[in-house]
Amino acid sequence: MEEKSISDIIEEYLKQILGESSQIEIRRSEIANHFDVVPSQINYVIKTRFTIQHGYLVQSKRGGGGYIRIERVNLLDNVDVLNSLIQAIGDSISERDAYDIVRTLYDEKLLTRREGDLMLVALSKQTLNVNDCNVEARLRARILISMLNRLRYES
């Protein structure tokens, strides 16, 4: 049986707290104390697991009364969120980050499995093989942004 990393456990915990709510507010130090980890571990989990590519918006307020707000967003119902996602893609995107976006669209039931699989094939390293990783990442970004814009207009 595969043993879970502390990051996986913290992610599951935060998602469990989020549950059916649209957002949660947490204190980084409280979560760190709960898991007996340094606060930067909580930052790592939030920065890597709760991104716009995964369907979350994160806001934070520093200081004594500070908090971290994690909000689950519907990617295609909110034009601002979709624009943020496209902006996050920028001029280039890795295959892994593109996969995360497609996975989120599938998890949100905005794509069928077949549509998601076709998107992944179109965005894959094997398909875009032009013997230059930078060119592939730029081409992948252009294709993904075009697909997202098409989804937006059909929704």
Residue 153 or 24, more confident = 24
Domain annotation covers residue 129: yes
- Average pLDDT taken over every residue of the chain: 86
Exposure string of 135-144, with b = 16+ CB inside 10 Å and e = fewer, is: ebbbbbbebb
pLDDT value for 140 = 97
Supply angle C-alpha 104, 110, 113, rounded to 5. 80
Q: For residue 97, give the H/E element and its range.
A: helix 95-107
Are residues 16 and 45 part of one domain?
yes
pLDDT value for 1 = 54
Last residue of a domain, one of 40, 57, 72: 72
Last residue of a domain, one of 72, 95, 129: 72
Q: CA 69: distance to chain centroid?
A: 15
Are residues 86 and 143 part of one domain?
yes
pLDDT value for 144 = 94
149: pLDDT confidence band, cut at 50, 70 and 90? confident
Contact (Cβ atoms closer than 8 angstroms) between residue 55 and residue 75: yes
Q: Is the pLDDT of residue 154 over 80?
A: no
Could you give the CA distance from residue 35 to residue 101 in angstroms, rounded to a whole number?
Answer: 29
Q: The CATH number of the domain where 111 resides is what?
A: 1.10.1200
pLDDT in tens, 55-78: 788 888 776 667 899 988 766 666
Alpha-helix runs per DSSP H in 36-125 = 39-49, 79-89, 95-107, 113-123
Tell me if the pTM is above 0.85.
no
The predicted model gives 1-7 an average pLDDT of 82
